[in-house]
Structure 1
């Protein structure tokens, strides 16, 4: 019988930002996908034994997603966040760790991160060490660039009421392989679903101004309630693009909402023409992303309501 093995990794990083900002950034698990490449989604599952539980999904490569349940304890007074991870994969080791925060000054913070994993045989600490280092680097970037990102990130949600239960509208948007025949601005889509409700696809689209884009996305689908997506191969104008389709049941039907969080790439502004400003790019993205989203929402609404009438 293999002997359990424990490996602990530790890292310390100084961040040029106030401790309250850094703490809130780390504690905001559901916003990690905006600035941390592997993070796709953290779905809250409620409290257990005084801890907040989440289902986490991280993209490992262009074809693989890793998932696990995380139990988090947030102690703002002590400036400490601790966690335990239970992986879904049978050959993956559980782990636990913490982030501790120390205010070095009003504008400087030290993060001390520690993670311990236990499992049989040789545990791949090199990958865990690299992932922790990269996560801390992204915390530093997001904290130190918070003011700039406030201008570069376009974040909005478009809702639409559907006079039908959520099932058909969900199916319409879940069946992405059928979009080229259903959605006018999608000209090509190649879908793969390596595990149930986790999808990758390459897609060619046209925006409302006639511009063509090719992207690769990963989606996590929670049947009947939520489809989360993240573009992992981005259009040239963006440094990041995440979002979701949310299906909220009401007594009268369903509120179907589309959310986008897109990060502008400053060095790519000239794609929109000479002299383009960040504000110009914000207005452009809000217009074209919303236009495509509302088109999709209306098509899903029509599809669902037609089946109610039938």
Structure 2
């Protein structure tokens, strides 16, 4: 039996930003779901400043895929070498390199290389992997270029915050409320409609209509990755409202000796060019930050409060 053939792809993009900025973005893997549309979630399993292991979830040709990867970071060379430790079928092996070259003080060239083999060297599977790599690499590089070229405004455009409540009830009851998202149209007032697909246990694809404070309705689509033993549900909106280019979040249930803390975390990348169209002439990014914080926080606190009532009511009935 012959060994599978190694296939190679290469993608490049020129970026009007310093090389150090570009390298910093590709080195910051926990933020990738906020920067790169295909990336749903990244768990940093190990990191010593040079080597890291990651568990990653991403979309590939419309499917949700998951794998673990190892990376070696070389900040001086602005180079990152990666290898998938447990590739998702039909990939048998996947490795590659991110490299950033300075064209001048204000311009860089980013190169992304992939080398991969496919189980049995099947032509159809090879074509599927090549298409997924080409699609995702182009989207990643385009998104990274846009973000890097706005690097001086990133602190203004990124909004991260959390809300929490205390619950006098079991952590498993709270988690059950958050996990059973299909029941939210009957349980959560601002959820008008929800469709749920869970082809893989713990990986939920959700389409939801949400009613805002002014009575309007917007549709979002999300992927949720559930960690029941850790009491966590992380998610990424794959279709966002107009004011955001990205929205990720996490529900976490944290028990202690006196009860349970339930926390809702949000991380948002604002779409600066949409601010006036959504909020009106003269509106600023500061106005958008305030608007998004209030809107997301209001919905989160409503859901957290309902989870609290659900858990505490069940305890009183025992």
Give the alignment's TM-score, normalised by structure 2. 0.87
Residue by residue, what CA displacement relative to the aligned partner does 1:197-218 show, whole Å, maximum 9, x if unpaired? 1111221211233332122221
Give, in whole Å, the separation in 2 of the partners of 1:263 and 1:233.
13
User: For 1:93, what is the secondary structure of its paired residue?
Assistant: strand
Give, in whole Å, the separation in 2 of the partners of 1:88 and 1:126.
16
249 and 84 in structure 1: CA distance in 2 versus 1, 3 angstrom threshold: farther
User: For 2:312, what is the secondary structure of its paired residue?
Assistant: helix
1:33 corresponds to: 33
After TM superposition, the structure 1 = structure 2 runs for residues 112-261 of structure 1, keeping only pairs within 5 Å, are 112-119=111-118, 120-121=120-121, 122=123, 123-124=126-127, 125-223=130-228, 224-261=230-267
1:271 to 275, 278, 281: 278
Could you tell me how far 1:187 is from its partner in structure 2? 1.7
Where in structure 1 are there 5+ consecutive unaligned residues? none
Which is further off, 185-194 or 163-172?
A: 163-172
131 and 204 in structure 1: CA distance in 2 versus 1, 3 angstrom threshold: closer
Matched length: 308
Give, in whole Å, the separation in 2 of the partners of 1:243 and 1:169.
17
Give, in whole Å, the separation in 1 of the partners of 2:257 and 2:81.
40
Could you tell me how far 1:38 is from its partner in structure 2? 0.8
Contact 2:206 2:222 in 1 (8 A): yes
Could you tell me how far 1:165 is from its partner in structure 2? 4.2
191 and 140 in structure 1: CA distance in 2 versus 1, 3 angstrom threshold: same
1:72 corresponds to: 71
213 and 12 in structure 1: CA distance in 2 versus 1, 3 angstrom threshold: closer
Give, in whole Å, the separation in 1 of the partners of 2:79 and 2:170.
43
Give, in whole Å, the separation in 2 of the partners of 1:275 and 1:75.
44
Give, in whole Å, the separation in 1 of the partners of 2:264 and 2:5.
45
Residue by residue, what CA displacement relative to the aligned partner does 1:143-193 show, whole Å, maximum 9, x if unpaired? 111233433333212232333443221111110011011111112111111
Give, in whole Å, the separation in 1 of the partners of 2:111 and 2:27.
14
Give, in whole Å, the separation in 1 of the partners of 2:294 and 2:117.
49
User: For 1:5, what is the secondary structure of its paired residue?
Assistant: coil
Residue by residue, what CA displacement relative to the aligned partner does 1:48-74 show, whole Å, maximum 9, x if unpaired? 9x8321111112355x21111111122
Where in structure 2 are there 5+ consecutive unaligned residues? none
Which is further off, 300-309 or 77-86?
A: 300-309
Contact 2:87 2:94 in 1 (8 A): no
Dislocated runs of 4+, deviation >4 Å: none
Give, in whole Å, the separation in 1 of the partners of 2:143 and 2:236.
17
